[in-house]
Structure 1
Amino acid sequence: MPCFRRALASLGAKRVRFFAGRVRSEAYYFSRGLAAALNQSPQVDNTSDFLQRVPHRKHPGILHLKRVTLPQAVVEGAQALVYRSNVTQLEDRTKDLSHYLWSRKRPAEDGDIRGRANELEKRLRLKMASSREPVLQDKNEEALEEELKRRVMAALRGKIYHWQQLMYDKELSVLYLAARFGSGYAAVMRAFHEIQKRVPDFAPKTLLDFGSGAGTVIWAAHECWGSSIREYMCVDSSAEMNEMSELLLRGGSNSQEKLIPGVHHRQFLPVSPKVRYDLIVSAYSLNELPSQRDRVQTIETLWRKTDGYLILIENGTKEGHHMLMEARDTILNQDDDRSRQKARTGHVFAPCPHPLPCPLKAKKESVPCNFIQAFQPLPFSWNPTTMWEKFSFLIMRRGPKEDIEEWPRITLPVQRRPRHVHCHMCCSDGTLQHMVITAHKHGRDLYRCARNSEWGDRLPVIITSKDSASTPIDEQQGEDCVPVVQSADVHRA
């Protein structure tokens, strides 16, 4: 009997090993079939012969930055301002402010509130009509209406986000400086680097910063273009925030000269389009406006005053992404209505490789189009040496589109695997694609370019119309394809 059992166990183990080997073999050929099915004819766009002049790790689609460091003058000035203030519980309050600003939502519109209230009223009215609560049985019709109104308002408070306008007094301005200067500086530097890398000849002379806050845009622009910019116009509704930004420019003391000349602060945005600027930036400011109407009017005003580039930056959340897409649609629709003024029209410069509706926003489970940037925070005891900012950005450019490169944008972290690379991209035809790139199927150049790319870069690749990768991912879930790797969505907000 023991011999029989050992023989049976041995036979079972052999069958398990046989089937496991067969499964691994089928999975191997299946994965190779996937790469061929998704990418039959992509190739490196080497029209400018860049591969003969630069290594793959420096291909022209590389746009990511390494760790962004703050200017030493900013670090010293910010430390002087924060330590000189009388703010108590600085560490806890800066963390609370960061969390609050990250989770902040747009103000609810009156139409949305009325619609939600009507829906709740119908539901509660039916519930109260069929209810046997003693409290409701003894009330007359007028009292029942009052009770219904009370319950609707109570339910509405739990479902509508209570947006409040932040009033930046001296104390809150110091907290904002300590909590957000490094992260805001990193996001702005990444947006500026996009322009510098793709349009190296651009040298702005004038800059408008809407919602200038502590002055992150001023310092980042000076770091990128130096003395090229002769005038900085900073607009912020808070007089205390403007005063702190001015002090930071003087190293924390009014007795010193400005470290960056030509900076002017104002509390109100001039509406007249006569004065235009080469570069206009609005970083983390759209959510400070009380309604959609105010956001649209502000975007229209900023776009009228733009002569070169308009840069908008928001949190890398669904709320931030939706506000940027709202601004994008506002500008594109406005230009369509005024198509007779060809010289004043514009186009999307980054990050979208197309003017079509955002495919991420159109998905059933909407996810934001966001990116990350490593940076050096202000050296306070509670901050680590390196932090990461997750942000969304939009760059609009005046004039007709001159850049003929319609390279796809990598929208998720690149997944490097043995002998193949996964790239999730937004393509010029307005679709999201998942490319599995191998050196055997697509050539060494494309494989090496993809392997050296990062989240947010552009992949210098041409995808022909015959390529099945031009089919949206949702339509590729057939027998010859495997689902998109779901673990990549962990990096989303």
Structure 2
Amino acid sequence: MATVSRLRFLPSLVRWRRGVRLALQSQALAMIVPGVSQVDNNSDFLGKRPHRQHPGILQLPRVKLPHALTDAAQLLLRQNSVPNMEQQVQTLTNHLWSRHVPVEPEELQRRAEDLEKKLGSADSSQSEEKLRGAVLHALCRTTYHWQKLSYNEGLSLVYMAARLDGGFAAVSRAFHEIRTRIPEFQPQTLMDFGSGTGSVTWAAHSTWGQSLREYMCVDSSAAMLHLAERLLKGGSESGEPYVPGVFFRQFLPVSPKVQFDVVVSAFSLSELPSKADRTEVIQTLWRKTSHFLILIENGTKAGHRLLMDARDLVLKGKEKSPLDPRPGFVFAPCPHELPCPQLTASKPLACSFSQAYHPIPFSWNKKSKEEKFSLVILARGSPKEAHCWPRITQPVLKRPRHVHCHLCCPDGHVQHAVITARRHGRYKRDLYRCARVSSWGDLLPVLTPSELPSSPAQDSPES
């Protein structure tokens, strides 16, 4: 290295001190929070591929809708003039994102009894009628008022303008994970519960169009089914559909013997009025699943909790009339089947992911966007992997000579790992380089301490 002149010595010293401070902070954090131990070199996971193509990378490039779907959606909005469309789109988007699970009757009764005791003790002179009125008023102020959305022709168009592209992006990301990890999987049948505008059908056709021969779209709204059918026909009432083999129904197939290779419920569980209804639907969907059940909700605490409840219901095996005896396991995103560490933390967080997409270019909708969502993919059978790699659950922070990764690990814990060029670059450069090119939602090809045999080498400073 060339000799630094006196004029440049002071800035260089400042940078050196800053680097030492960052290194000390990284070492302290790595010591406080258990980090990753070694790259999974045992399975020769790279082969001859470069680090930027390691098999844990599952990120999907910015999604763009098929031209036929974009053109059909734009045509439908031109044909049907909806007043204040941009404002209605924003209002519906905000409403759907802030949606909470409806309060169960038992919980509502408990809250009413607590309020009655509290208000009654504060003012014992009021009559029973006034006390009931005060309790009802307090309940209305403090309890989330859930209402079922009824989609008529107008609201269906607003939903299409607000959610068609984002929903397509989230489902495409889920399909991409299955196709990347199991490229030989070629489904022939698919069922979409709560199909709405049919974004699942379009995403599935873009992913497995060569093998899929039957798409079953189920939605309780006749207006939504009609809109989805028109989108498939280019926005018209007649003509040949862009995707062949699509069938529409307002109710789930009655026969319990009918199974589908892939079953999807995207942003639909939050539209069910009670826990009993959700339990019944999840059991029915799982019973109709022969390979993969994909559940997607908003990337909020409420959406994540709904998915974890569904995950636990399937894993515990409470299935009515199990015609398919194969057990279920979590295919993604969890690397374990233990309680979700995000929910059991002192401050619960939503386990969510993000997918970039190009929106339908309406007049108000031209900038690239990100869809934030939670998902769980359940599969029948037994996992083939001998072990699971940790999942990156937050955006990767890349800093000079070190990387911050938040990992959900196979032992059921969340770890904040600081992977440095010094500690993981000299002897384990694969780990540092893999972490450097990984993103939110990827798998990091690494063995965590719980998966390693105990050895003196693990306790050394360089491990």
Instruction: Tell me if TM exceeds 0.5.
Output: yes
Question: Does 2:419 match 1:437?
Answer: yes
Separation in 1 of the partners of 2:98 and 2:29?
39
Question: Does 2:184 match 1:201?
Answer: yes
Residues 217-252 of structure 1, C-alpha deviations (whole Å, 9 max, x = no match): 000000001131010000000111101100100001
SS of aligned partner of 1:162: coil
Task: Determine which of 320, 323, 327 is the counterpart of 1:345.
Answer: 327
SS of aligned partner of 1:214: coil
**How far 1:342 moved relative to its partner?**
8.6
Task: Determine which of 361, 365, 388 is the counterpart of 1:383.
Answer: 365
Q: Tell me if structure 2 keeps the 8 A contact 1:187–1:391.
A: yes
Q: Tell me if structure 1 keeps the 8 A contact 2:360–2:366.
A: no
Normalising by structure 2, we get a TM-score of 0.90
Question: Does 2:252 match 1:252?
Answer: no
Q: Tell me if structure 1 keeps the 8 A contact 2:35–2:418.
A: no
SS of aligned partner of 2:140: helix
**How far 1:400 moved relative to its partner?**
1.3
Q: Tell me if structure 1 keeps the 8 A contact 2:406–2:417.
A: yes
Matching residue's letter, 2:176: H
Question: Larger deviation: 345-354 or 33-42?
Answer: 33-42
**How far 1:83 moved relative to its partner?**
1.4
SS of aligned partner of 2:229: helix
Gap runs ≥5 in structure 1: 1-20, 130-135, 137-142, 469-493
**How far 1:335 moved relative to its partner?**
5.7
Q: Tell me if structure 2 keeps the 8 A contact 1:38–1:467.
A: no
**How far 1:153 moved relative to its partner?**
0.5
Matching residue's letter, 1:230: R
Q: Which residue of 1 aligns with 2:395?
A: 413
Question: Does 2:314 match 1:331?
Answer: yes
Q: Greater helix share, 1 or 2?
A: 1
Residues 461-483 of structure 1, C-alpha deviations (whole Å, 9 max, x = no match): 01233989xxxxxxxxxxxxxxx
Separation in 1 of the partners of 2:36 and 2:352?
29
Report matched runs for 1:137-156 at 5 Å.
144-156=127-139
- For the structure 1 residues 237 and 450, does the alpha-carbon distance in structure 2 shift closer, same or farther, using more than 3 Å as the test? same
Report matched runs for 1:249-398 at 5 Å.
249-334=232-317, 343-398=325-380
The RMSD of aligned alpha carbons is 2.4
> Identity rate of aligned residues, in percent?
53
Q: Which residue of 2 aligns with 1:166?
A: 149
Q: Tell me if structure 1 keeps the 8 A contact 2:262–2:292.
A: yes
Residues 350-384 of structure 1, C-alpha deviations (whole Å, 9 max, x = no match): 00000000000011211100011111111101113
**How far 1:284 moved relative to its partner?**
0.4
Question: Larger deviation: 112-121 or 143-152?
Answer: 143-152
Q: Which residue of 2 aligns with 1:476?
A: none
Q: Tell me if structure 2 keeps the 8 A contact 1:73–1:251.
A: yes
Q: Tell me if structure 2 keeps the 8 A contact 1:370–1:390.
A: yes
Q: Which residue of 1 aligns with 2:459?
A: none
Q: Tell me if structure 1 keeps the 8 A contact 2:409–2:448.
A: no
- For the structure 1 residues 321 and 75, does the alpha-carbon distance in structure 2 shift closer, same or farther, using more than 3 Å as the test? same
SS of aligned partner of 2:42: coil
Question: Does 2:432 match 1:451?
Answer: no
SS of aligned partner of 1:51: coil
SS of aligned partner of 1:87: coil
Q: Which residue of 2 aligns with 1:210?
A: 193
Q: Which residue of 1 aligns with 2:212?
A: 229
SS of aligned partner of 1:400: coil
Separation in 1 of the partners of 2:164 and 2:60?
18
Residues 67-121 of structure 1, C-alpha deviations (whole Å, 9 max, x = no match): 1001000011001111111311111001111111110111110011011111111
SS of aligned partner of 2:55: coil
Q: Tell me if structure 2 keeps the 8 A contact 1:35–1:438.
A: no
**How far 1:272 moved relative to its partner?**
2.8
Separation in 2 of the partners of 1:219 and 1:158?
42
Separation in 2 of the partners of 1:374 and 1:293?
35
Q: Tell me if structure 2 keeps the 8 A contact 1:276–1:307.
A: yes
- For the structure 1 residues 26 and 77, does the alpha-carbon distance in structure 2 shift closer, same or farther, using more than 3 Å as the test? closer
Separation in 1 of the partners of 2:451 and 2:210?
49
- For the structure 1 residues 428 and 323, does the alpha-carbon distance in structure 2 shift closer, same or farther, using more than 3 Å as the test? same
- For the structure 1 residues 259 and 58, does the alpha-carbon distance in structure 2 shift closer, same or farther, using more than 3 Å as the test? same
Q: Which residue of 2 aligns with 1:32?
A: 27
Separation in 2 of the partners of 1:258 and 1:102?
32
Runs (4+) of structure 1 moved beyond 6 Å? 21-24
Q: Tell me if structure 1 keeps the 8 A contact 2:35–2:448.
A: no
Residues 169-218 of structure 1, C-alpha deviations (whole Å, 9 max, x = no match): 00010000000000000000000011011111000000000000000000
Q: Tell me if structure 1 keeps the 8 A contact 2:217–2:247.
A: yes
Matching residue's letter, 1:190: R
Residues 240-270 of structure 1, C-alpha deviations (whole Å, 9 max, x = no match): 1101100100001123211111000000012
- For the structure 1 residues 150 and 39, does the alpha-carbon distance in structure 2 shift closer, same or farther, using more than 3 Å as the test? closer
Separation in 1 of the partners of 2:451 and 2:180?
31
Gap runs ≥5 in structure 2: 1-15, 454-463
Q: Tell me if structure 2 keeps the 8 A contact 1:271–1:301.
A: no
SS of aligned partner of 1:457: coil
Task: Determine which of 106, 119, 126 is the counterpart of 2:121.
Answer: 126
Rg larger in structure: 1
Q: Tell me if structure 1 keeps the 8 A contact 2:351–2:393.
A: yes
Residues 291-331 of structure 1, C-alpha deviations (whole Å, 9 max, x = no match): 00000000000000100000000000011001001100110
Matching residue's letter, 2:175: F
- For the structure 1 residues 39 and 113, does the alpha-carbon distance in structure 2 shift closer, same or farther, using more than 3 Å as the test? closer
Q: Tell me if structure 2 keeps the 8 A contact 1:409–1:459.
A: yes
Task: Determine which of 404, 420, 427 is the counterpart of 2:409.
Answer: 427
**How far 1:424 moved relative to its partner?**
0.6
